[in-house]
Amino acid sequence: MRPSSPLVQIAGTPLARAAANHAFHRFARRRVAWLAQADPVAVQQRTLLRLVRRARNTRFGRDHGFGRIRSVDQFQRQVPLRLYEDLWKSYLRDQYPIFDNLTWPGRIPYLALTSGTTQGATKYIPVSRAMLKSNKKASLTMVACHLASRPDSRLFRGRLFFLGGSSDLERPAPDVQQGDLSGIASKEITEFLRPYTFPPLELALEPNWDRKLGLLAERSLQERITLVGGVPSWLLVLFQRLLELSGRSTMAEVWPHLELVVHGGVKFDPYREAFDRILGSPRIRLQETYPCSEGFIAFGDPATGLLRLVFDHGIFYEFVPLDELGSERPTRHWLGNVRTGINYAIVVSTCAGMWGHIIGDTVRFESLSPPLLTFTGRTKYTLSAFGEHLISEEVEAAVAAASAATGASVRDWHVGPVFQGALGHHLYAFEFLTAPSDLSAFRTILDAELSRRNADYQAHRAEGVGLPLPALLVTKQGGFDAWMRSRGKLGGQHKVPRMDNTGTLTAALVEFLRRESAVDDQLEPGTA
């Protein structure tokens, strides 16, 4: 392993850490003050025109008349909405892996590989140098808001632990690397910042997830960890290993300097009780983030707990009412005319050349000044095989309510339809950290919460209509891990698919769990 440079050795000293912590606090005050006086609408308009100007000589820019665009309205008239598959077929597929001046000027140095959380084929999301800077700016903005809310924070007197996937990137072409987005971010950490982050690069490169998780737990026990971030389900697994290794009862005892837990990728409500219990201290703040392969969208606002849209880092946002998404001419809103209380599909145009891109997420604005929103789910995460029209936000909230009422802690879960005869039923698969005190009561409360939140579901559950109480299947510990491993999607940023409206993925999961004797308990569909 290459020895650390003198710069890195100096940066890691206690005096340097104290100075860095002080410098970041000064930066935080300036950044938060700027955000407080900025006009998000004006900034977004400038952002779009700047993006269009930079990309006007690319193939995409020439095809869509970027040289003539002078307003948001013009852009929306000339650039149609696109799914990733549309951009891939029209511009990227024939040139893969070299995306040179296609949708963004110059050669794209990184491709973030993702298949999302559905069964789709691998996507190759362009990550430009400008996007690397964009992600860094958004991350620093998140940190700045935390520091501003906690003037006594000592975040940079310790290490920031990012639980990501493997950093071992492939090289499909000269000057092009591809792999997990967290691996790309790890490769791009500057030498000066490495003493403030964990894990070291050689451990981040470990491709075997099970081995990597064990090594991360062992080595992090020796570190002064002040921040840890990752997908909630994997953070819980890491925390459990640390408690076992250390003999401690809470993470506040394992890492006494821990002050911030950053989570993202899934709705957090079902995990909240488990995190509160395992962290063991109110001084450890939970920080939600909303990053995706296309860019860093938002982060949890310390004052409100809502997601704060990052609006000045090279991403232009549009918002399409979810019920119009499949129409021929959907309405395209932006920060200049968006409204609160509406479920929108989010669309981005980015400094990596994703134009009018429907990323597959849905949000609802709670405030416009500043722009604060709630993540409501995925455009493909709906459950309506029988006309019940459930969305992920409703199911997530019902799972959280059932967990709280029965003392359960959910590690992972999935729901989909089972077709039997003329109708069928829903089947939920759960892996619990702490099992509910009464599984039947858990199901009853889950069902009642769904009925309360969704009139269509309630109507379909009415006696005589035919949709019974959902079936429940409880996996043994590690059941979901084994299934994800069998699919080649274990660890890092991979997440268990929450909802499957076709029933195909649900059937495959149930078949696997039963074949592997991983079913711990189950309830057949009920008649109540």
Full pLDDT tens readout for the chain, 528 residues: 444 555 455 667 889 999 999 999 999 999 999 999 999 999 999 999 999 999 999 999 999 999 999 999 999 999 999 999 999 999 999 999 999 999 999 999 999 988 644 444 688 999 999 999 999 999 999 999 999 999 999 999 999 999 887 667 899 999 999 988 888 988 888 877 888 999 988 888 787 878 888 999 999 999 999 999 998 888 988 999 999 999 999 999 999 999 999 998 777 877 888 899 999 999 999 999 999 999 999 999 999 999 999 999 999 999 999 889 878 899 999 999 999 999 999 999 999 999 999 998 999 999 999 999 999 877 777 787 887 878 888 898 999 999 999 999 999 999 999 987 556 899 999 999 999 999 999 999 999 999 998 877 887 787 655 689 999 999 999 999 999 889 877 766 677 888 888 888 999 999 999 999 999 999 999 875
Instruction: For residues 80 and 184, state if they share a domain.
Output: no
Neighbours of 74 (CB within 10 A): 16
Instruction: For residues 401 and 284, state if they share a domain.
Output: no
Instruction: For residues 410 and 278, state if they share a domain.
Output: no
Both structure tokens of 489: 């999607």
Instruction: For residues 280 and 139, state if they share a domain.
Output: yes
Residue 349 falls inside a structural domain: no
Q: What is residue 118's predicted lDDT score, i.e. its pLDDT?
A: 41
Alpha-carbon distance of 174 to 177, in angstroms, equals 8
Q: What is residue 528's predicted lDDT score, i.e. its pLDDT?
A: 57
Both structure tokens of 199: 């894990």
Exposed (0-12), middle (13-18) or buried (19+): which is 56, by Cβ within 10 Å? Answer: middle
Residue with tokens 């290794």: 245
323, 337, 331, 332: which is closest to 368 by C-alpha? 337
Alpha-carbon distance of 99 to 108, in angstroms, equals 6
Cα 480–Cα 484–Cα 487 angle in degrees, nearest 5: 145
**Rg of the chain's alpha carbons, rounded to an integer?**
23
143, 372, 151: which is closest to 260 by C-alpha? 143
Residue with tokens 């998780």: 213
Amino acid at 514: R
Cα 171–Cα 52–Cα 310 angle in degrees, nearest 5: 75
State which of 265, 289, 314 marks the end of a domain. Answer: 314
Instruction: For residues 191 and 134, state if they share a domain.
Output: yes
Instruction: For residues 154 and 291, state if they share a domain.
Output: yes
Alpha-carbon distance of 184 to 316, in angstroms, equals 23
Q: What is residue 167's predicted lDDT score, i.e. its pLDDT?
A: 63
Q: What is residue 7's predicted lDDT score, i.e. its pLDDT?
A: 46
Residue with tokens 């609006």: 311
Instruction: For residues 60 and 29, state if they share a domain.
Output: no
- Are 278 and 253 in contact by the 8 Å Cβ rule? The answer is no
Instruction: For residues 293 and 151, state if they share a domain.
Output: yes
Cα 329 from chain centre? 29
Residue 440 falls inside a structural domain: yes
Instruction: For residues 30 and 171, state if they share a domain.
Output: yes
Alpha-carbon distance of 162 to 158, in angstroms, equals 13
Residue 465 falls inside a structural domain: yes
Alpha-carbon distance of 428 to 412, in angstroms, equals 11
State which of 63, 79, 111 marks the end of a domain. Answer: 111
- Number of domains comprising the chain: 3
For residue 218, give the H/E element and its range. helix 209-220
Instruction: For residues 258 and 152, state if they share a domain.
Output: yes
State which of 314, 341, 356 marks the end of a domain. Answer: 314
Instruction: For residues 218 and 99, state if they share a domain.
Output: no
- Are 58 and 103 in contact by the 8 Å Cβ rule? The answer is yes
Domain span including residue 48: 40-111
Both structure tokens of 506: 């649900």
Q: What is residue 266's predicted lDDT score, i.e. its pLDDT?
A: 74
Residue with tokens 């879960």: 413
Residue 246 falls inside a structural domain: yes
- Are 152 and 138 in contact by the 8 Å Cβ rule? The answer is no
